[in-house]
Amino acid sequence: MNIVEIMEDPRFFRPLFRDQETWRSWKVFLKALFGIPMAGKTERRLLRQCTGLKKPRNRPSKEAYVIAGRRSGKSFISSLIALYLAAFKNWSPYLNRGEKGWIFIIATDKDQAKIIKNYISGILNSNDMFRSLIERELQWEIELKKGIVIAVKTCNYRTVRGFTVLAATCEEMAFWRDENSANPAQEVLAALRPALATVPESMLIGISTPYSRSGVLWEQFRNNYGKADARSPLIWKAPTRTMNPTIDEAIIENDLREDYSRARAEWDAEWREDIEGFLSLEAIETAVVPGRLELPKLQEVDYSAFIDPSGGRQDSFTLAVCHKEQSNKIILDCVREARPPFAPQQVVSEFAQVLDSYGVSYIESDRYSGEWVVSEFAKHGITVENSQLPSSDIFINFLPHIMNGSVELLENRRLTRAGPR
């Protein structure tokens, strides 16, 4: 049985879906991925729309990249593919006696990894047949009795080395970040490909919402979209509503009115053009003052500050303090970052002390921050107002300052190399 037949079979994956029709587009993707024949003109039309291919390849793709909008079902499909490969495919010809075969799902961070692990665990424990396959279950791994291990990991190239890897799915790879690497996705793929090379039927899948026109995901799309050669990676690009028609279109339209560039990336799976210019590492590093980690408060200088708040579970909570010199050069004086998990009230208290040391009692915030940010800082005598500009406009306005040399940045590895956040 192929993966689509297993999705539709009531003995296996069928009970996991409320309405199979809403997963129609994902079935077409899976057919394209595994070389399963298309059923009729509608499926072939969707294939052309999402891959640029005039006709199906009719053979499995060893490497594939999915560029899809938010809430389109990417993580669930990743989990389904991993379980199909682990439970329904015979890998014994490629494994020595006693050797384990590994199927990796690599997530952006531990929070996302936990979500995916819960998907996999929930599916395996959904019926007696799947449950009987489990040899043991750990926090981040599930070992099956046939010697196959499904492991959920975060994006670190060191943790994927030394394994016989049967398949790997890289989740939200456009948003991977690592303070030690300018391009962690490139490093992880470089570590994975040799581990996959010894298994002829191995599979590497990248799946993500798009971000800027840079990095591995963009390069794969630019170089391989629409290529008929089965040796080239399969590229699938589709907006949220194509992959998940249950999403309310009014929500998407509202986001497009609020911040067109951001919403186009999040929902329509279109690459952002408003920020890619200053994502050049070389351009940013020209503004960095070597050895300058932080500047003390100067007398008779007016300081400004900006915060990008977070609730403490997924994103960092950041603070920047700066001032403008008479020459109109903008100087970054101080940067603070609270990385999740953290208690938001405690971070506000710590940031308030930093702001007080620079004599700052008024700050601007990302326009999408909640009311709790205003009220928490008010407890410390600090007024918060939401920025009148969306993030895309802030990026656009900042770019000329970087390019003409009117900005001095601190030497901070997280600031210059961590990537989109």
CATH number at residue 12: 3.40.50.300
Average pLDDT, stretch 73-99? 92
Closest CA to 29 of 234, 278, 216: 234
Considering the domain architecture, whether residues 194 and 315 belong to the same structural domain is answered as no
How many domains, the chain? 2
Q: Does some domain include residue 175?
A: yes
Per-residue pLDDT of 10-69, as tens digits, reads 999 999 998 999 999 999 999 999 999 998 999 999 999 999 999 998 899 999 999 999
273 falls within a domain:
no
Domain assignment present for residue 354? The answer is: yes
DSSP string, 108-158: SSHHHHHHHHHHHHHHHTSSHHHHTTEEEE-SSEEEETTSEEEEEEES-GG
Q: What pLDDT, on a 0 to 100 scale, did the predictor assign at position 421? A: 40
Question: By percentage, how much of the chain surpasses pLDDT 90?
Answer: 64
Is the backbone of residue 294 left (phi > 0), alpha (psi -120 to 50) or beta? beta
Same domain, yes or no: 36 and 183: yes
Q: Classify residue 66 by its DSSP letter.
A: E
Q: Which amino acid is it at 138?
A: L
In a shared domain, residues 145 and 263: yes
- CB–CB of 238/45 below 8 Å? no
Same-domain status, 237 and 316: no
Alpha carbons 29 and 26: distance in angstroms, whole number: 5
Final residue of a domain: which of 216, 241, 268?
268
Q: Are strands 101-107 and 234-238 parallel, antiparallel or unpaired?
A: unpaired
Work out the pLDDT band at 420, boundaries 50, 70, 90.
Answer: very low
Measured distance CA(53)–CA(38) in Å, rounded: 13
Q: Which two tokens stand for residue 188?
A: 């992880």
How do residues 289-348 score in pLDDT, each as one tens digit?
999 999 999 998 999 999 999 877 767 899 999 999 988 899 999 999 998 889 999 999
Q: Are residues 150 and 211 in the same domain?
A: yes
Q: Are 241 and 285 in a shared domain?
A: no
**Domain boundary, last residue among 244, 268, 292:** 268
22 and 156 housed in the same domain:
yes
Separation between Cα atoms, residue 277 and residue 368, nearest integer Å: 23
Does residue 281 carry a pLDDT above 80? no
Residue 402 lies in a domain: yes
User: 390 is in which domain, residue-wise?
Assistant: 279-417
Window from 3-7, 36-40, 161-165, 368-372 with minimum mean pLDDT: 368-372
Q: Is residue 14 part of a domain?
A: yes
Are 340 and 217 in the same domain? no
348 lies in the same domain as 232: no
Last residue of a domain, one of 268, 291, 320: 268
| CATH number for 355 | 3.30.420.240
- Looking at the fold, whether 202 and 290 belong to one and the same domain comes out as no
Task: Say what the pTM is.
Answer: 0.68
C-alpha angle with apex 19: 14 to 25, nearest 5 degrees? Answer: 90
* pLDDT tens for each residue of 110-162: 888 888 999 999 999 888 889 999 999 999 999 998 899 999 998 888 888 88
Q: Are residues 240 and 338 in the same domain?
A: no
Q: Are residues 243 and 294 in the same domain?
A: no
Residue 274 forms part of a structural domain: no
